[in-house]
């Protein structure tokens, strides 16, 4: 099958497309491609893609990817002419994710990070498609004393026997499956190790600090930080991450693994103070113990992303937080708790 689409628009499959990052990715891709969004709403929401459902270049498929997916048997996809054109690109973002309710989805998580990855790779083999996997910064393990930035050459250090092993080890195992398929079948495999990302459509009251901070500030309630005054993180706005993913997909076959995230260290209390300033809130900041097994991760070394993709985060923290505040004000009455 040729590398370029036969028709005017290429066909792109996005798993987890109704999730936080996935919905923004679909929104970006639908401008130039036929987008097939696959999700089962286990931790995502139809509201994230509602605005795309009427677009003729977008189609949603409610499906659990741990089950095989026969795209050509679905009548709603006939207009994309899959039998003739196939699929050119697969973005694999599907993975149940919930910090506060992680234990509720352990089996789904471990199967998505094994059987689900295999099913998507089998589709990539069938269609000779490029495939990109949304991996995670958790593979680098907790932030180590004296080491702030982590590059793609650093070894992965995780404890696979913790209660979060289904996710942490699942991400590492998924990368191994992808590399194996690349070696055996000659697939063009891309792996994006994504660091902490924020933006509109994040789940609220689920352990995601930024949306919870914003809503608490708007309601003049205490802003709760899971940590102490020195807790730090990096924060990349979701549209920057999506841009990096799209750029990574367009790279040559010999480019496989890249970090995507912000390399700037930010104190969580400083983020809270910015939100208070932007909202004019009278909320107070309160600290609580962090969730068990959630550790402070390092920052990404994005040298390779800069050199290869010409990519680096563009959205300033103040601007990104303002977008989240505007989104929360507009959709506050629709946000499900």
- pLDDT tens-digit profile of 26-56? 999 999 999 999 999 988 989 999 999 999 9
The pLDDT of residue 101 is 64
Percent over 90 (pLDDT), the chain: 72
Task: Find how far residue 33's CA is from the centre of its chain.
Answer: 20
CATH code where residue 164 lies: 3.40.50.720
Going through the chain in order, the beta strands assigned E by DSSP cover 10-15, 33-39, 58-62, 89-92, 130-136, 149-150, 189-194, 197-198, 223-226, 232-233, 236-237, 257-260, 266-267, 285-288, 299-300
> What does the block give as tokens for 94?
């599907």
The pLDDT of residue 113 is 93
Q: Judge whether 333 lies within some domain.
A: no
Question: Is pLDDT above 90 for 323?
Answer: yes
The pLDDT of residue 160 is 79
Q: Judge whether 204 lies within some domain.
A: no
The pLDDT of residue 334 is 56
Question: Is pLDDT above 70 for 336?
Answer: no
**Catalytic residue list contains 185:** no
Q: Judge whether 319 lies within some domain.
A: no
The pLDDT of 233-244, averaged and rounded, is 96
- 334 burial level (CB within 10 Å; 0-12, 13-18, 19+): exposed
- 148 burial level (CB within 10 Å; 0-12, 13-18, 19+): middle
**Residue 44 to residues 16, 35, 116, Cα–Cα distance (Å):** 8, 18, 17
The pLDDT of 257-264, averaged and rounded, is 97
Question: Is pLDDT above 70 for 86?
Answer: yes
Strand 285-288 vs strand 10-15: parallel, antiparallel, or unpaired? unpaired
The pLDDT of residue 190 is 98
Higher pLDDT, 75 or 230: 75
The pLDDT of 209-228, averaged and rounded, is 90
Q: Judge whether 80 lies within some domain.
A: yes
Question: Is pLDDT above 90 for 326?
Answer: yes
Question: Is pLDDT above 60 for 1?
Answer: no
Place of tokens 């930010």: 266
- Domains identified in the chain, total number: 1
For residue 158, what pLDDT band results from cuts at 50, 70 and 90?
A: confident
Question: Is pLDDT above 90 for 226?
Answer: no
- Could you write out the DSSP letters of every residue in 284-317? -EEEEPPPTT---B-EE--HHIIIII-----S-H
Q: Judge whether 285 lies within some domain.
A: no
Could you tell me the sign of the dihedral formed by the alpha carbons of 222, 100, 136, 292, in that order?
Answer: positive
pLDDT, tens digit, for every residue of 277-313? 999 999 999 998 876 555 677 899 999 999 999 999 9
The pLDDT of 181-186, averaged and rounded, is 97
Is 137:289 a contact under the CB 8 Å cutoff?
no
The pLDDT of residue 6 is 55
Which one of 91, 167, 181, 198 is the catalytic residue?
A: 167
Question: Is pLDDT above 90 for 91?
Answer: yes
Q: Judge whether 155 lies within some domain.
A: yes
Domain span holding position 74: 10-199+235-262+295-314
The pLDDT of residue 118 is 97
Name the pTM for this structure. Answer: 0.93
The pLDDT of residue 17 is 97
What are the beta bridge partners of residue 131? 90, 189
Residue 322 sits at φ, ψ, to 5 deg, of -65, -40
The pLDDT of residue 337 is 41
Residue 239 CB coordination number (10 Å)? 21
Question: Is pLDDT above 60 for 169?
Answer: yes
Window from 78-92, 147-161, 244-258 with minimum mean pLDDT: 147-161
The helix or strand, by DSSP H or E, that contains position 175, with its residue range, turns out to be helix 165-185
Q: Judge whether 213 lies within some domain.
A: no
Q: Judge whether 129 lies within some domain.
A: yes
């Amino acid at each position: 099958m040729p590398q370029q689409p036969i028709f005017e628009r290429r066909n792109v499959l996005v798993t987890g497309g109704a999730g936080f990052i996935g919905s923004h990715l679909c929104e970006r891709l639908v401008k130039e491609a036929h987008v097939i969004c696959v999700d089962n709403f286990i931790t995502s929401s139809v509201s994230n893609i509602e605005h795309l459902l009427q677009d003729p270049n977008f189609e949603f498929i409610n499906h659990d990817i741990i089950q095989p997916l026969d795209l050509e048997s679905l009548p709603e996809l006939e207009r994309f002419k899959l039998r003739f054109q196939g699929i050119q690109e697969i973005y694999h973002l599907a993975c149940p994710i919930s910090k506060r309710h992680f234990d509720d989805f352990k089996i789904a998580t471990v199967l998505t990070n094994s059987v689900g990855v295999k099913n998507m790779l089998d589709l990539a083999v069938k269609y000779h498609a490029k495939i990109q996997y949304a991996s995670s910064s958790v593979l680098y393990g907790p932030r180590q004393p004296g080491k702030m930035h982590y590059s793609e050459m650093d070894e992965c250090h995780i404890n696979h026997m913790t209660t979060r092993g289904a996710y942490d080890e699942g991400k590492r195992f998924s990368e191994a499956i992808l590399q194996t398929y690349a070696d055996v079948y000659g697939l063009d495999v891309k792996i994006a190790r994504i660091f902490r990302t924020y933006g509109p459509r994040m789940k609220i009251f689920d352990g995601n600090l930024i949306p919870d901070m914003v809503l608490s500030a708007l309601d003049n309630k205490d802003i709760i930080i899971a940590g102490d005054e020195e807790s730090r993180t990096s924060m990349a706005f979701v549209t920057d991450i999506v841009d990096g993913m799209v750029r990574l997909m367009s790279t040559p076959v010999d480019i496989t693994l890249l970090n995507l995230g912000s390399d700037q260290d930010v104190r969580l209390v400083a983020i809270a103070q910015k939100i208070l300033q932007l909202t004019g809130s009278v909320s107070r900041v309160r600290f609580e113990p962090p969730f068990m097994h959630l550790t402070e991760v390092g920052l990404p070394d994005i040298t390779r992303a800069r050199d290869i993709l010409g990519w680096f985060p563009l959205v300033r923290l103040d601007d990104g937080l303002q977008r989240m505040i505007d989104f929360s004000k507009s959709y506050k009455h629709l946000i499900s708790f």
